[in-house]
Amino acid sequence: MASLPRVIVKPRRARPFFARHPWLFVTSIARVEGEPKPGSEVEVFSHEGQFIARGLFNPNSAIRVRLYRWDGGPLDDEFWAKTVAAAVRLRREVLHLGGPNAAYRLIASESDGLSGLTVDRYDRWLVVQFTSLALFERREMLIGLLAQEPDLEGILSRPDRTTAEQEGIRPHEDVFHGSAPVAPVEIIENGLTFWVDVKAGQKTGFYLDQRENRRAVAQYCQGKRVLDLFTYTGAFALNALKHGGAESVLGIDSSSTAIEVARHHAVLNQLGKARFESADVFDALETIRGGSDRFGVVICDPPKFARHPRGVEDALKGYLRLNRAALDVLEPDGLLVTFSCSGLVERGLFADLIGQLAELSGRSIQILEQRGQAPDHPVSASCLETEYLKGFVCRVS
C-alpha cells in the first residue's frame, strides 16, 4: 500500500495536536511531503518526526488539515461508521433524546469527532450542514449512515454559504435522501409546540442549543414582567409564561417574519399574555427607557457579534452597549439574563464584561448562574472553542 502524504508541523507547534485539537491551520505547517489532493487523507507528524494523527487535507482552507484519528488507523468507512454511531449513542442512551416531534442535535461537528459535519433532527427529518470539503466529498457514505436513523422521511442540506465558499464546497442538492417536508415541521420542546421552517429558518431552523436555558430561566419569572430581546420564535418568552408563571412577556425582534412566527406560537400554545413586536432592539430599548414601563426580567440573546478574531473588540463593545441599555429598563433587584453565542468571545471575557457593566452603571450585580449550551451540543475538552454559548443570570440592584 502506497504511503500517505505527510504534513509536518512547525517546531514547538505540535502540542495541541498531540492533545487532539482537530484544527491544523496553515500557519502551523512547516511543509507538506507529497501532493495531497483536496479532501484526501494525510498523516501529520511533528517537526521531530513523531506521528501525531491522520486527517483530511484542503489546500484552499485556512484549516489546512482537519484531524480525526490519533491511533494510526485509516479513515475508512468502518471508522466513520463507528464515529457516527458513538454520536448517536450519546443522544439515545445518555441524554435519552428522541421520539415523536423531538428536536435535538444529533452530530455536533468537532465535539463528536466529526469536524465539519453538523446534523440536527426535527421530528422525522435530519438537517445536515457540511463545513468541510473533505467530508462533503464523502457525503454519499455519510448520508448512507444517517439514513439508518429510525422513522426518517428525509435528509436535507442547509449549507452555510460563507463557509462553503471558503472550503470550496460547490452548490448542491437541497435533499440528500427521501423527501422534504411540505409544511413547517412541528416539534415539542419543554411541553411547548413550535413550527420549524427547516428550509429557510435561522441556523438549521431553531436554536436547539438554548433548550435547557429556556426552561431554567423560566423559574426566575414567576409574577414578573419579562422582556425578551431578539426573541426570534418567542421560545424564551413562551417558556417564561408556561413554566415560569410570568405576569406578562414582551418579545422584540427586528424580523417581522420572526415576529409573525412568534405570534403564531403564542396562539398555538394558548398563551394569550404574550406580546411580540417587530423593531430594532436598540431603538425599542431607547423608546422603553423614555417611558414608565420597567421589567422584572430582561433576556438578551443576540446573534453572533464576532465572526473573526479581529472582530472581538467590537463585539465586546456591542455586548456592553446592549446590556447597558437593558439595565436602563430593568426594575431594581431585577434579573438580567444575557447570552453570547460568539465562540471567539471566551467565557472569561464575557464575565469581565459583566464587571464593567456594574462599574459603568453604578449598580451592584450578582451572578446567580452561569449557563451554556444544551448537552446535545457537548464541549470537546480538546477543542474548547466548541464552548461557544455563554450565559449569565444576574441580579441587579
Q: Residue 349 burial by CB count (10 A; 0-12/13-18/19+): exposed, middle or buried?
A: middle
Closest of 281, 283, 286 to residue 328, by C-alpha:
286
Question: HSE on the CB side for 243, CA within 13 Å?
Answer: 20
- Compute the CA torsion angle 23, 28, 32, 36 (nearest 10 deg): 20
How many whole angstroms from its chain centre is CA 6?
Answer: 33
Q: What is the CA radius of gyration of the chain?
A: 23
Strand duo 29-33 + 6-9: pairing:
antiparallel
Cell of 260: 409573525
SS3 122: strand
341 is catalytic: yes
Q: How far apart are CA 58 and CA 52, in angstroms?
A: 18
Closest CA to 54 of 79, 84, 27: 79
CA distances from 208 to 108, 202, 259, 361, 397 (A): 12, 11, 18, 33, 32
How is residue 322 written as a grid cell? 446592549
Out of 221, 341, 383, 394, pick the active-site residue. Answer: 341
Q: How many other C-beta atoms lie within 10 A of the C-beta of residue 293? A: 12
The answer to whether residues 154 and 125 touch, using CB atoms and an 8 Å cutoff, is yes
Terminal alpha carbon distance of the chain: 69
Is 110 within 8 Å of 383 (Cβ atoms)? yes
Cα–Cα distance measured from residue 392 to residue 340, given in angstroms and rounded to the nearest whole number: 9
61, with CB counted inside 10 A (0-12, 13-18, 19+), is: buried
- Fill in the amino acid letter for 182: V
3-class DSSP string for 184-217: CEEEEECCEEEEECCCCCCCCCCCHHHHHHHHHH
Q: Which residues are the active-site residues?
A: 341
